[in-house]
């Protein structure tokens, strides 16, 4: 049996049961592409009438979006009525496929589960082939909400009486995750509120510093923190009730009093105890008795071959090679000296614990050793400090031994101290929950003050006034670059290159065009700056190869889209997204035309140059 159903068989099976049109969710883009390839020689072609309908629908879309016409998947779409739809495709292609799906022309679309939220077209059937998706680096199980989001695409209103979610297994599938997802109640969602630098600047621009705490309190984050705080407060209330019988006694803070007394009382006999454990000195020295080390024993020297622990008592032991060639076992405690001399030793797991060659070598070395050898200076950690003598001596001064409530104290102290500890813990966490957002805000304010975007009285400086207009990721890096005049006189291509490398956050490897020397030295500076900013803001990837792709597109206006795609191994859709995101970053820089006219001008030129070919055709 194959590990998973062949795409051709899958479509045939769905057609047989009239379960088309279907959306098939696969693990990766590559899986989608391979599924499409497998239809190249399939004989499950559509009847000519339907092929014509698809062709006509395609022609209508192509009239709007010419870039669709050259897509390599078109023959398969026409012949068999299946298509792939994932982030590696151009938006125009995705729109075309969505349009065909809406018109009911296609039998199946292969999509990636990662993009399930972006798949905004329904079908009669949804095919699920996996129970986990890749998030950042790892595979995580689908949540109930995600499974329902995926399954929710099944069943078109007005076109289907029922929708079907069909699970077909592939390796590593966990059926439990999917059945739970289908039948379960979706998870609660939690706020992901973070405080960003542009947020701080914009808040402080519009509101005085004292009002900000009130604004932060309006966030969903604070709402949820308050919910948790209220829960804790209720717990605190019950703790208060439970604490009532343990109120003040003869001394007001009897719990602390008793604890100190108890500790002092325990400390004294403890010191007379015979230590069962090995001494700290031995522990420290044992680390140095590694194989090859020369040690001094009561009678003569030896070379350590291995260290181990004895079976019963787990005493530290070593196997030693003696000058007469014997291998003896002795407790590590009997080692008198550890010398500052060690030899290479090729360890093995069985007697004589090293290879024959190194055994002979060690034996030779041992006999050749000079009579005087330096010993290793080994620092021995001091024993933990006992209670200050003052307390121990004042044991007689404790009122407890003669106190009338002593039996009661002794009985209650365990429960009472646990309750009090819990009380203190809850109080602390309530404080943290109530104030954490404000603290995080203050941290950001301090950073911005340090860099000179805010005055010490938390007003915007001149730099802050324009910096608040940069409201994108890595805003601190970008504003610092502008202040350092990194782009002074830089032409649009360089600016675009740098912005693209800041905007791109994907580490998919690939082959890319060569980078120009000007851009590469500029990127070097950007990297240095990003490095120095890393305590305050996570540095972007700053990939030179990505910068080169964007630079090429700007620097060479005759370059066609196909030409650009041939320069790299990046998928079309990824290049498109890279340029679109770069556009967004550039248009943010363009908003600075009031304060940085030449930079804004350069950004405007870059924007105009980016928008051509495929990028002009589409939103």
Partner 1 sequence: MTIDELERLLAQQPVAVLHRLARGRVHRHFRAGKRRLIELLLQHSSQNLAGLESDVQALLAERQGQPQPPPASTRTAHRAPSPPQKRVPHRGGEPESSEPAVSLAGWLEGLGVPAPQPFVPDPWQQEALAALSETDVVVSVPTGSGKTYVAVEAARRAMEDNRTVIYTSPLKALSNTKFTEFSKIFGADKVGILTGDRQENGQAPLLIMTTEILRNLLYDAASGEIDVRLDTLGLVILDESQYIADPERGVVWEETIIFCPSQAKLLLLSASIGNPQDIADWLTSIRQTTSRLVRHSKRTVPLRAGYLHPNGKLAPLFKTAAIPAGHPNHLHPEAKRLFLEYEEETMPSGRSRR
* Residue 341 or 581 with smaller CB distance to partner 1: 581
The reply on whether position 242 binds partner 1 by CB under 8 A is no
* Residue 156 or 265 with smaller CB distance to partner 1: 156
How many whole angstroms separate alpha carbon 151 and alpha carbon 519? Answer: 47
Name, in order, each residue with C-beta under 8 angstroms of 613's C-beta and a sequence gap of 6 or more: 67, 560, 561
**Token pair listed for 305:** 């071959």
The answer to whether the beta carbons of residues 95 and 61 sit under 8 Å apart is: yes
Q: Give the full edge-to-edge strand order of the sheet including 82-85.
A: 82-85, 108-112, 22-26, 125-128
Kindly identify the residues of this chain, within the stretch 455-494, that bind partner 1 according to CB under 8 A.
Answer: 468, 471
Number of residues assigned to the chain: 619
The reply on whether position 164 binds partner 1 by CB under 8 A is yes
Kindly identify the residues of this chain, within the stretch 123-142, that bind partner 1 according to CB under 8 A.
Answer: 124, 127
Supply the minimum distance, in Å, between the C-beta of residue 8 and partner 1: 7
The reply on whether position 48 binds partner 1 by CB under 8 A is no
Supply the minimum distance, in Å, between the C-beta of residue 583 and partner 1: 4
Q: Which stretch binds partner 1 (CB under 8 A): 148-156, 413-421, 426-434, 442-450?
A: 148-156
For residue 469, CA distances in Å to 122, 205, 526, 532 come to: 39, 11, 21, 23
Q: Which stretch binds partner 1 (CB under 8 A): 211-219, 306-314, 446-454, 474-482?
A: 211-219
Kindly identify the residues of this chain, within the stretch 580-609, that bind partner 1 according to CB under 8 A.
Answer: 580-581, 583-584, 587, 607
Supply the minimum distance, in Å, between the C-beta of residue 219 and partner 1: 5
The total of other beta-carbon atoms located within 10 Å of residue 284's CB is 13
Cα dihedral angle (145, 105, 38, 47), rounded to 10 degrees?
Answer: 150
**DSSP label at residue 454:** B
* Residue 9 or 337 with smaller CB distance to partner 1: 9
Q: Which stretch binds partner 1 (CB under 8 A): 185-193, 338-346, 448-456, 494-502?
A: 185-193
Q: Which has the closest alpha carbon to 151: 177, 179, 182?
A: 182
* Residue 236 or 544 with smaller CB distance to partner 1: 236
* Residue 71 or 94 with smaller CB distance to partner 1: 94
SS3 string, 87-125, reads CCCCHHHHHHHHHHHHCCCCCEEEEEHHHHHHCCCCECE
Kindly identify the residues of this chain, within the stretch 9-38, that bind partner 1 according to CB under 8 A.
Answer: 9-10, 12-13, 15-19
For residue 424, CA distances in Å to 50, 240, 421, 427 come to: 73, 11, 5, 5
Kindly identify the residues of this chain, within the stretch 260-299, that bind partner 1 according to CB under 8 A.
Answer: none
* Residue 183 or 569 with smaller CB distance to partner 1: 183
Q: Are strands 301-309 and 125-128 parallel, antiparallel or unpaired?
A: unpaired
Query: Contacts with partner 1: how many residues (CB under 8 A)?
Result: 93
How many whole angstroms separate alpha carbon 222 and alpha carbon 211? Answer: 15
Please report where in the chains the tokens 């769905």 appear, as a residue. Answer: 14
Kindly identify the residues of this chain, within the stretch 523-542, that bind partner 1 according to CB under 8 A.
Answer: none
Candidate list 33, 51, 141, 193; residue touching partner 1; CB under 8 A: 193
Supply the minimum distance, in Å, between the C-beta of residue 450 and partner 1: 23
**Token pair listed for 414:** 């365990």
Phi, psi angle pair for 108, to nearest 5°: -155, 150
Candidate list 46, 90, 533, 548; residue touching partner 1; CB under 8 A: 46
* Residue 141 or 262 with smaller CB distance to partner 1: 141
Supply the minimum distance, in Å, between the C-beta of residue 125 and partner 1: 8
* Residue 40 or 383 with smaller CB distance to partner 1: 40
DSSP H helices, 296-396, are: 356-367, 389-393
Supply the minimum distance, in Å, between the C-beta of residue 559 and partner 1: 19
Kindly identify the residues of this chain, within the stretch 86-115, that bind partner 1 according to CB under 8 A.
Answer: 91, 94-95, 98
Beta bridge partners of 327: 321
Burial of 575 (0-12, 13-18, 19+ CB in 10 A): buried
Kindly identify the residues of this chain, within the stretch 410-449, that bind partner 1 according to CB under 8 A.
Answer: none
x/- mask, partner 1, residues 62-91, rule CB under 8 A, reads: -----------------------------x
| Long-range pairs for 357-361: beta carbons < 8 A, 24 or more residues apart | 359/321
**Token pair listed for 118:** 């972006």
Please report where in the chains the tokens 């309908």 appear, as a residue. Answer: 53
The reply on whether position 385 binds partner 1 by CB under 8 A is no
Q: Which stretch binds partner 1 (CB under 8 A): 120-128, 288-296, 428-436, 443-451?
A: 120-128
The reply on whether position 215 binds partner 1 by CB under 8 A is yes
Q: Which stretch binds partner 1 (CB under 8 A): 68-76, 146-154, 377-385, 389-397?
A: 146-154
* Residue 339 or 585 with smaller CB distance to partner 1: 585
The reply on whether position 179 binds partner 1 by CB under 8 A is yes
How many whole angstroms separate alpha carbon 36 and alpha carbon 496? Answer: 35
The reply on whether position 507 binds partner 1 by CB under 8 A is no
Q: Which stretch binds partner 1 (CB under 8 A): 170-178, 289-297, 306-314, 450-458?
A: 170-178
How many whole angstroms separate alpha carbon 15 and alpha carbon 21? Answer: 8
Candidate list 41, 137, 185, 271; residue touching partner 1; CB under 8 A: 185
* Residue 161 or 404 with smaller CB distance to partner 1: 161
The answer to whether the beta carbons of residues 155 and 186 sit under 8 Å apart is: no
């Amino acid at each position: 049996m194959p590990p998973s159903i062949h795409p051709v068989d899958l479509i045939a099976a769905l057609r047989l049961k009239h379960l088309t049109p279907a959306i098939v969710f696969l693990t990766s883009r590559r899986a989608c592409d391979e599924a499409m390839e497998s239809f190249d020689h399939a004989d499950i072609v559509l009847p000519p009438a339907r092929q014509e309908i698809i062709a006509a629908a395609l022609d209508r879309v192509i009239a709007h979006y010419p870039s669709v016409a050259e897509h390599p998947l078109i023959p398969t779409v026409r012949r068999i009525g299946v298509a792939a739809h994932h982030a590696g495709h151009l938006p125009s292609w995705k729109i075309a496929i969505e349009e065909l799906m809406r018109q009911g022309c296609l039998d199946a679309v292969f999509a990636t589960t990662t993009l399930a939220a972006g798949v905004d077209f329904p079908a009669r059937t949804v095919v699920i082939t996996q129970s986990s998706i890749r998030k950042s680096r790892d595979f995580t199980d689908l949540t109930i909400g995600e499974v329902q989001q995926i399954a929710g695409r099944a069943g078109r209103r007005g076109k289907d009486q029922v929708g079907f979610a069909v699970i077909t297994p592939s390796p590593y599938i966990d059926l439990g995750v999917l059945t739970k997802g289908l039948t379960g109640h979706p998870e609660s969602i939690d706020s992901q509120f973070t405080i960003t630098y542009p947020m701080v600047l914009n808040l402080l621009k519009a509101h005085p510093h004292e009002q900000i705490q009130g604004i932060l309190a309006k966030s969903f984050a604070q709402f949820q923190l308050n919910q948790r705080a209220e829960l804790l407060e209720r717990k605190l209330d019950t703790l208060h009730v439970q604490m009532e019988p343990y109120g003040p006694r003869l001394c007001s803070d009897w719990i602390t009093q008793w604890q100190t007394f108890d500790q002092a009382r325990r400390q004294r006999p403890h010191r007379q105890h015979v230590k069962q454990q090995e001494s700290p000195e031995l522990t420290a020295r044992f680390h140095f008795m590694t194989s090859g080390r020369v040690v001094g024993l009561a009678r003569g020297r030896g070379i350590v071959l291995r260290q181990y622990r004895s079976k019963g008592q787990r005493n530290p032991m070593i196997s030693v090679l003696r000058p007469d060639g014997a291998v003896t076992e002795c407790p590590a405690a009997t080692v008198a000296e550890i010398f500052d001399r060690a030899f290479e030793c090729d360890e093995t797991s069985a007697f004589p614990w090293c290879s024959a060659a190194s055994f002979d070598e060690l034996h030779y070395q041992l006999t050749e050793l000079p009579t005087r050898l330096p010993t290793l200076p080994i620092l021995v950690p001091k024993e933990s400090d006992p209670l200050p003598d003052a307390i121990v001596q004042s044991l007689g001064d404790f009122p407890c031994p003669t106190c009338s409530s002593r039996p009661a104290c002794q009985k209650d102290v365990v429960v009472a101290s646990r309750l009090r500890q819990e009380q203190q813990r809850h109080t602390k966490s309530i404080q943290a929950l109530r104030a954490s957002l404000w603290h995080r805000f203050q941290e950001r304010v301090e950073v911005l003050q340090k860099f000179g975007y805010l005055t010490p009285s938390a007003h915007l400086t001149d730099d802050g006034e324009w910096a608040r207009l940069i409201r994108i990721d890595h805003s601190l890096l970008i504003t610092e670059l502008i202040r350092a005049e990194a782009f002074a006189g830089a032409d649009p291509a360089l600016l675009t290159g740098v912005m693209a490398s800041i905007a791109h956050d994907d580490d998919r490897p690939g082959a890319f065009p060569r980078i120009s020397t000007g851009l590469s030295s500029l990127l070097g500076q950007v990297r240095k700056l990003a490095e120095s900013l890393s305590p305050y803001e996570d540095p972007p990837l700053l990939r030179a190869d990505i910068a080169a792709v964007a630079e090429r597109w700007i620097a060479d206006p005759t370059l066609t889209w196909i030409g650009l795609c041939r320069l790299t191994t990046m998928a079309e859709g990824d290049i498109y997204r890279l340029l679109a995101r770069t556009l967004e970053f550039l248009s943010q820089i363009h908003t600075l035309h009031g304060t940085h006219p030449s930079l804004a001008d350069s950004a405007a030129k870059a924007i105009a140059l980016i928008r051509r070919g495929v990028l002009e055709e589409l939103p």
